[in-house]
Amino acid sequence: MKRPSLAARITLLLVATSLALLGGGALLMDWRIDRAMEARFRENLLTQAQALTTVVEIEQAAGSPRAPPGLLAGDGRAWYQLRCAGLPDQHSSPPPPAMPAGWPQAAGATPKFVNLRHGHGRLGAVMFAFQAPAATGPPTRNCALLFMQDRHTFDRLLTALDWILVLGPALAMLVALVAVPLIVRRGLKPVRALAERMHDIGPHAPGQRLPASGLRELDPLVARFNDVLARMDDGLARERQFASGLAHETRTRLAELRALAEVEARYPSGRELKQILGEIGQIGAELEATVSALLLLTRLQSGLEQPQRQPLETRPWLERQLQRQRAVADERGVALAVTGTPPPSLHTDPALLEVVLGNLLGNACAYAPPGDTVQVELAAGGLRIGNAAPGLEPADLARFGQRFWRKQPPHTSHAGLGLPLAHAAAEALGMQLRFELRDGRVCAALAWSP
């Protein structure tokens, strides 16, 4: 199926609009001209009829009523009939070819205009009554005059004007049908250039952007498309980083297993089997933790993992979470300091809240420099966890939610998935998690609703 063309649609709209405007304007002008011309024709007809009545009045006042044939200009295209009380009817020579039925009775003081059919043409007529002075008898006589004129020349003039008004818009439309598509295609040239420029932009060429067109209608579209390209590049960069990080973590663990097996096979170390199997189990556990974290992160971000909320006693639960991290903190020479009072209970999902708090505490204890103190401040509306972070910069805070991102060299048990998991779990619980960097210390603030 052929796709509709924007140029064709614009051309059709322009032609239809022009046709409606020109056609409507031509009809309105034709109506106005016809009315004006008809008014002039009737005015001329009435003027001739009134001139005839003046001649009649003068002749009857002189006592010699007779037909005034010279008044009709001798062209034979005007006729009249005159009826006066007490006098025989007078008419032109030749007499009128057609007369309206009962015209003397219909004639009144106000002129009445009628159109009559005669053969293939029309006649314009006017009839009215008047008082004519008389030389003998009554001082005045009641008279009725019917005056008519051939409309052939006048109707031909109206027809010529109609053709002019019809042919003018028709010729304009023919010109528009030829010129408008060319004009529209030329006007849409920037759109075609934009489409051609878009053809070269894609994932294979990141970083490319559309140049500004300089047109008020297209520049918002260009800006919006460039925004989409920027988000696409960011997404592709994150996906590449994710794929690279996942491949690195998986390849590192598998390489450790293979190297351990090959070294023990070729150059036995003499260690006990239990110790070797323990090391293999630890590497497998780290690989399993990475895969499990990725699965949980995917379920959280896709909405598959829904919170199972229930009442949770806050104090003993927090104490258990802190106790789990004390061993790591003591091993690295980091102290844990807890201040404040948490709310008595929370209505939340304990498992997801453990993901949030466990990862925040684990990161703080793992990355705080030896001799530092991890500060945990508890309050009714949330908690704050702060530790020294001399290597962090303010720009690094925006990357805390990226998977497999680590500012420092990777630790054995950290794959760079803790903070993304904490972000995703906090969002699933409807909690707000944000990070601040002040005076060389990073602080994670978690806000909850009791």
In a domain, 434, yes or no: yes
Q: How many CA atoms lie within 13 A of 382 on its CB side?
A: 16
CB 424 within 8 A of CB 300: yes
Q: What is the pLDDT of residues 291-312, one digit of tens each?
A: 666 666 666 666 666 778 888 8
Q: Is residue 172 part of a domain?
A: no
C-alpha–C-alpha distance, residues 450 and 438, integer Å: 28
Task: Kindly state whether residue 288 falls inside one of the protein's structural domains.
Answer: yes
Strands (E), 109-213: 112-118, 121-133, 140-150
pLDDT recorded at residue 39? 92
Checking 181-189 for CB contacts under 8 A at 24+ apart, the result is 181/7, 181/8, 181/11, 184/7, 184/10, 184/11, 184/14, 185/7, 188/6, 188/7, 188/10
Q: Is the peptide bond before 138 cis (omega within 30 degrees of 0)?
A: no
Q: What percent of the chain has pLDDT over 90?
A: 3
- 223, 344: one domain: no
* pLDDT value for 405: 63
What span, in angstroms and rounded, lies between the C-alpha atoms of 246 and 420? 14
CB atoms within 10 A of CB 193: 13
Candidates 192, 149, 164; CA nearest to 5 is: 192
CA 285/CA 277 separation, integer angstroms: 12
Domain extent, residue 436, equals 308-447
**For 86, what's the count of Cα atoms within 13 Å in the CB-facing half-sphere?**
14
Q: Judge whether 205 lies within some domain.
A: no
Q: Where among 271, 301, 331 does a domain terminate?
A: 301
Q: Is residue 320 in some structural domain?
A: yes
Residue 264 contacts residue 276 (beta carbons within 8 Å): yes
pLDDT band with cut points at 50, 70 and 90 for residue 242: low
**Higher per-residue pLDDT: 210 or 290:** 210
Residue 191 is assigned to a structural domain of this protein: no
Over 70: is that where the pLDDT of 116 sits? Answer: yes
Q: Is residue 204 part of a domain?
A: no
Give buried/exposed letters for 33-63 (b at 16+ CB in 10 A, else e): eeeeebeebeeebeebbeebbeebbebbeee
Residues 275 and 312 in one domain: no
Number of domains making up the chain: 3
pLDDT greater than 70 at residue 204:
no
Q: What is the pLDDT of residues 160-199, one digit of tens each?
A: 888 888 888 788 778 877 877 788 777 777 777 777 777 7
Residue 19 within a domain: yes
Q: What is the pLDDT of residues 29-76, one digit of tens each?
A: 888 988 999 999 999 889 888 888 888 777 666 655 555 544 444 344
Q: What is the CATH number of the domain that holds 289?
A: 1.10.287
pLDDT of residue 243: 61
Q: Are residues 297 and 324 in the same domain?
A: no
Using a 10 angstrom Cβ sphere, with 0-12 exposed, 13-18 middle and 19 or more buried, the burial of residue 329 is buried
Q: What is the pLDDT of residues 77-108, one digit of tens each?
A: 788 888 888 788 888 878 888 888 888 888 88
Q: What is the pTM of this model?
A: 0.44
Say if residue 125 is in the same domain as residue 245.
no
Say yes or no: 284 and 379 in one domain.
Answer: no
How do residues 257-279 score in pLDDT, each as one tens digit? 788 788 777 878 777 778 878 87
Let me know whether 405 and 273 are in one domain: no
Q: Say yes or no: 154 and 227 in one domain.
A: no
CATH of the domain at 432: 3.30.565.10
Last residue of a domain, one of 161, 177, 198: 161
Query: What DSSP character marks residue 447?
Result: E
Has residue 438 got a pLDDT over 80?
A: yes
Which of these three, 252, 277, 301, is where a domain ends? 301
Domain of 83: which CATH number?
Answer: 3.30.450
> Looking at the structure, do residues 13 and 122 belong to the same domain, yes or no?
yes
* Residues 105, 233 share a domain: no
323 and 426 share one domain: yes
Residues 47 and 131 in one domain: yes
Apex CA 9: angle with CA 5 and CA 13, to 5°?
170
Q: Which two tokens stand for residue 377?
A: 């401040």
Looking at per-residue pLDDT, the higher value among 195 and 448 belongs to 448
Please report which confidence band the pLDDT of residue 205 belongs to, taking 50, 70 and 90 as the band edges.
low
pLDDT at 113: 92
330 and 255 in one domain? no
